[in-house]
Structure 1
């Protein structure tokens, strides 16, 4: 199973990088949204 995960990660390196950037952006938006009530 680990070999399958590694193989999939090697094949889809560009897609995984884009997905990781998207997840990071969503986390930033989530944290910023949760802190908006504190700032006002």
Structure 2
């Protein structure tokens, strides 16, 4: 199991930062969407 995970991580190393950036963008969008009604 650990070797499979290590192999998958080594194969997707190029797109890992893009996935992390996408996840961060989703969290920012969620945070803004939940707090935006409080401003109005």
After the TM superposition, which parts of structure 1 deviate over 2 Å for at least 4 consecutive aligned residues?
none
Q: Which residue in 1 is equivalent to 2:14?
A: 14
Equivalent residue for 2:33? 33
Shift of 1:17: 1.4
Higher RCO, 1 vs 2 (CA within 8 Å, ≥6 residues apart): 1
Q: State the number of aligned residues.
A: 40
TM-score normalised to structure 1 length:
0.84
Calculate the aligned-residue CA RMSD, in Å: 0.9
TM-score normalised over the length of structure 2: 0.84
